[in-house]
Structure 1
Amino acid sequence: MSRRLLVLGWHNIDPTPFYPADPGAGRRGFERQLAAIDRLGTVVPLSEAVDTLAAGGELPPRAVALTFDDGYADWLDAAVPALDRRGMHGTFFLVSDILSGRIGAWWEDLADAFDRVTAPSLEWAGRTHDLSTPTARRAAQDALKDELKLVDRATRVEAVARIAERIAPPPPPRPPMFLDWDGARALAATGHGIGSHTVTHPILSREDEGTQRHELTASRRALEEGLGQTVDLLAYPNGNAGDYDERTMSVARGAGYRAAITTRPGLVGPNEPPFAMHRIVLTPLTDVGELFGKVARKGTGVARRVANRAVRTLTPTG
């Protein structure tokens, strides 16, 4: 038995503008990952693992919890069926205003604009970004994405809209990339876990305390009322060390959550703060077998670098 938990996280399965990949590669890769996890670990529901660790109990050897962020539509026809075929449990973190169609996903909107770019360059915030080649466009997109994470949500959303207007024509109609409330109810009916990923997916530490409180309380209330079940697990948007702080954790506790997960790599142990749980984020192309081996031999810092290599394989370079 063990008192350690490895939390793994995904976003999408199929390719998107922000997470590009060859057609079908995501589903094939995800199936391979689940096969490796089945062989190397023991999947436990995140909610049960949180309770067990809080009570000082023991988990199965090589315990693994599987999580998914943002509400991508392919969860219903790719992630859930693959999990169910192996009897595995996942926990899915939803953004309530994306479900309602009130907002889009700014990171996907930005990437989509760069996919359709027609402008040769972009003047933005005193800099000129070259857009004349795929490599230059990728560098510009990455630089702007990192800059936009440093501002509050309202500024970020306005900036993405202005950038898109300057560099690309309006987007054509396309199938929804994210679940709506009907999709969320279908997801909840599968028996997998549901958690909150806030109302509008802000980077919480960039917002004032009142906004943070609204994001955490209103999302939980909307999900509980809309899905008819208790929602008391939280995933911080973006989730790196600077994206939440002591104030955020205090607000989350006050909003009635039992625990919150980050994207900071590491194993969760019995002394882990319940509102700063470690997690390793993957793409469907991450070599999970190698990741497990690195965790076992050298710790999660090395394992995170394995995961990061898979992210780089999804990035077009020219």
Structure 2
Amino acid sequence: MRQLKSLAKKIISPLVDSLGLYERRLRAAARVPDRWTIVMYHRVVTSTAADPFRLGMCVERSHFESQVRFMRECFNVIALTEGVRRLHAGEPLPPGALSITFDDGYLDNLTQAAPILDSLGLPWTLFAVSGGLDTGEMLWWDRTIAAFACTDRTSLDSRSLEMPGPARMPLDAMRAGDTVEAVLAHLWTLPHEQRMSVVHRIESQLQARVRPELRADRLSSAQIVELHRRGVEIGAHSIHHPNLGLCDDATAIGEMVSSRNRLQELLQAPVKGFAYPGGRLGAVTPTLARQSGFDYALATTVGVNDSRTDPFCLMRIGMPDAPLADFRRAFSGAIRRGAPQTALTF
């Protein structure tokens, strides 16, 4: 099914895009007043080998460059803090307002994305996980993905991972991607300590030696400071990247405040924004973010913001790893489905 979808995108999207339909839709959306689109990236890579199961967190460098060039031509790219300031002040948003964000804090944000964004003069914001910045340890989902991608095993015993469903999960080439998605979805349902215990069990069971191209290296403390000095806004993204919807109030506030404090110590500057890890949050989480002293917080709910949007429930659109024609199809579709839409206020 994934291969069929990929083939359809390669054939159909360029044909429709050649007629200018998607671009006209996007340019029309950029002319609508009081709309603010926030786009979300995670990684910018030089090889698709970095995303072995095509889970969507990686965008190939040439695709990224063509996408942000188009954004600069079609939209009014503004700093995230400028949009937030206008929301708080009750000021209208500029026509075609769009802001660029990155989550997690990967090394390639500095080595691959930053040079392109700098050359185009585009502002952007990075939300960094503050735990383990200088340990060299990959984030928990990257460890899981690498273990599956590098193993020689043909199946996984799900019982040792406390997962429901069949005892044996296949790892052959045709089905491994589905298994990985199921395991990652299960890990999101676990509290942090339990999740890390399961990740250790996965690595032990699969006995994989991680290949260099599967190492999802993170930014160091010094590199985050370097980006800040170059004008990049740095926001908080928790300590451990937990599912905040599973946390009690004290734990959730601790993740938010400790993450912010760690980054503020590094930067010697205020950290005003927070991005909910994986977009997972409970009904009171936005209230907790407000109580924690942030100016705003971002979710992963797909939509376009306006002057009525709660600054602690800002919506974003995730960017696909796609050439320009299919990017315009996906982006225009997301904007049409998500606008206008008002986030709930908690």
TM-score range, shorter chain: 0.7 to 0.9
Query: Could you list the runs of 5+ residues in structure 1 that have no partner in the other structure?
Result: 302-318
Structure 1 160/264 Cα, relative in aligned 2: closer, same or farther at 3 Å? same
CA contact (8 A) 2:79 2:124 kept: yes
Change (3 A) 1:119 1:199: same
**CA apart distance, 1:33:** 0.1
Q: Which residue number in structure 2 is paired with residue 51 of structure 1?
A: 85
1:3 CA drift (Å): 2.1
How does 1:162-181 map onto structure 2 within 5 Å?
Answer: 162-171=201-210, 177-181=217-221
Q: Which one-letter code corresponds to 1:101 in the other structure? A: T
Shift in Å, 1:138: 1.3
Contact in 2 for aligned 1:40/1:292 (Cα 8 Å): no
Match of residue 90 from structure 1: 124
Residue deviations 1:71-124, cap 9 Å, x none? Answer: 010011111111111110000000111424285311111110011112221111
In 2: Cα distance, 1:25 partner to 1:151 partner:
28
Partner SS state of residue 178, structure 2 = helix
Residue in 2 aligned with 1:61? 95
Query: Which range is displaced more, 248-257 or 93-102?
Result: 93-102
TM-score, with length taken from structure 2: 0.79
Q: Which residue of 2 aligns with 1:218?
A: 258
Tell me the C-alpha RMSD between the 2 structures: 2.4
Equivalence for 2:6? none
Q: Tell me the CA shift for residue 290 of structure 1.
A: 2.7
Contact 2:40–2:102 (CA under 8 A) maintained in structure 1: yes
Which residue is 2:34 aligned to?
3
* Distance in 1 of aligned mates of 2:281 and 2:247: 10
- Measure, in 1, the Cα distance between the counterparts of 2:92 and 2:111: 34
1:281 and 2:321 matched:
no
Q: d(CA) in 2 for partners of 1:25 and 1:276?
A: 25
| Cα distance in 2, alignment partners of residues 277 and 234 from structure 1 | 10
Tell me which moved more, 221-230 or 243-252. Answer: 243-252
Judge conservation of contact 2:93–2:307 (CA < 8 Å) in 1.
no
Cα distance in 1 for partners of 2:169, 2:253 equals 40
CA shift for structure 1 position 266: 0.6
CA positional deviation for 1:169: 2.9
1-structure distance, mates of 2:219, 2:143: 16
Distance 1:53 1:18, change over 3 A: farther
Letter aligned with residue 91 of structure 1: T
Contact 1:110 1:160 in 2 (8 A): yes
Determine if contact 1:13/1:284 at 8 Å carries over to the other structure.
no
Aligned to 1:269: 306
- Structure 1 partner of 2:278: 238
In the TM superposition, residue 295 of structure 1 has moved relative to its aligned partner by: 5.5
**Shift in CA distance, 171/25, structure 1 to aligned 2, threshold 3 Å:** closer
- Find the aligned partners of 1:291 and 1:123 in 2 and give their Cα distance: 37
- Could you say what secondary structure the match of 1:31 adopts? helix
Give the share of equivalent positions with the same residue, in percent: 28
Q: Aligned partners of 2:169 and 2:328: how far apart in 1?
A: 39
Match of residue 310 from structure 1 = none
Where does residue 249 of structure 1 map in the other structure? 286
1:152 to 191, 194, 201: 191
| Distance (Å, rounded) in 2 between the aligned partners of 1:170 and 1:294 | 40
1:300 — aligned with what? 338
Cα gap change, 1:132 to 1:263, in 2 (>3 Å) = closer
Q: For structure 1, which segment, 189-198 or 286-295, has the greater mean C-alpha deviation from structure 2 after superposition?
A: 286-295
- What is the aligned counterpart of 1:198 among 212, 230, 238? 238
Kindly provide the amino acid, as one letter, of the partner of residue 226 in structure 1: L
CA distance in 2, matches of 1:283, 1:2: 26
The 3-state SS of whatever aligns with 2:184 is helix
State yes or no: 1:107 paired with 2:141: yes
Q: Deviations over 1:188-227 (max 9, x none)?
A: 1110111000111111111121211110010000101111
In the alignment, structure 1 residue 131 sits paired with structure 2 residue 186: no
User: CA 1:46–1:162 in 2, change beyond 3 Å: closer, same or farther?
Assistant: same
Structure whose CA Rg is larger: 2
Q: Check 1:201–1:254 CA distance in 2 against 1; reply closer, same or farther (3 A cut).
A: same
SS at match of 1:169: coil
Q: Is the 8 A contact 2:136 2:218 kept in 1?
A: no
Check conservation: 1:197, 1:235, Cα contact below 8 A: yes
The answer on whether the counterparts of 1:103 and 1:200 sit within 8 Å (CA) in structure 2 is no
Q: Kindly state the Cα deviation for residue 246 of structure 1 after the two structures are TM-superposed.
A: 3.1
Verify the 8 A CA contact 1:111 1:141 in the aligned structure 2: yes
Contact 1:95/1:200 (<8 A) preserved: yes
Task: Write the distance in 1 (CA, Å) between the matches of 2:97 and 2:132.
Answer: 32
State the partner residue of 1:311.
none
Corresponding residue for residue 184 of structure 1: 224
TM-score (norm 1): 0.86
Contact 2:84 2:296 in 1 (8 A): yes
Q: Distance in 2 between matches of 1:90 and 1:68?
A: 8
Contact residue 154 and residue 171 of structure 2 kept, 8 A: yes
